[in-house]
Amino acid sequence: MKRASVPLSRKKRIKYLDQPQLEALFRVAKARPLRDRLLVTLLYRYGMRVSEALALRTEDVNLRRGEIRVVGLKGGAERVYAIGRDILPLLRKYRATGPFLFASREAESLSRTQAWNLVVGMMREAGIPAGYGPHSLRHSLGVHMLDAGLQLEHVKDALRHASIRSTEIYAELSPGARAEYTRRMEHSGAIVKVGR
């Protein structure tokens, strides 16, 4: 059965940051308040939508067990992830001021607009062009996971997709994944080589 290709209009909507752009963003975030730095970090590392990050409650982070619980807002998929060793010190240092992990001075939780402005402001300061926003961090994780050699099923799980079809777009965007399977083909005895 022939696999349907992803429409060009959908490909155009996927905007992700490469590794140098993300490193520049994290350098900018490091100079910001811990809450803002943590927001950018969690959006990227757990592929969260802004609404998912803002819905995080303090009890969703279990420092003793080193776990974070993320509830997907599309389809309600709930996942528990190990907290990365590089993120754990940030969470230990951070003190949430209410029931939600990300609060503002005015409310229990940051608004979507506040969060969007924070992230986009840091992106502009990092030299990332207009047109990128918080959702670009989610797309970045999908591409970078494949660049790291992880399987499409792992990306599906990390992004809490209901269907693998939603995840397949990242395979088309990952030059690292393409280079890796090309290298494996070159070194595999299962692939017939062209004679010299």
Catalytic residue among 45, 139, 160, 161: 161
Q: Tell me the torsion sign for CA atoms 88, 94, 97, 100.
A: negative
Catalytic residue among 16, 44, 46, 170: 170
User: Is 170 among the residues known to form the active site?
Assistant: yes
Catalytic residue among 138, 139, 156, 160: 138
Q: How far is CA 64 from CA 55, 82, 126, 160, in A?
A: 21, 11, 34, 24
Q: Classify residue 133 by its DSSP letter.
A: -
Catalytic residue among 44, 45, 46, 49: 49
User: Is 35 among the residues known to form the active site?
Assistant: no
User: Is 139 among the residues known to form the active site?
Assistant: no
User: Is 49 among the residues known to form the active site?
Assistant: yes
Catalytic residue among 37, 45, 135, 144: 135
User: Is 154 among the residues known to form the active site?
Assistant: no
> Residue type at 169?
I
Catalytic residue among 27, 74, 124, 184: 74
User: Is 13 among the residues known to form the active site?
Assistant: no
Burial of 140 (0-12, 13-18, 19+ CB in 10 A): buried
**Catalytic residue numbers, as ranges:** 49, 74, 135, 138, 161, 170
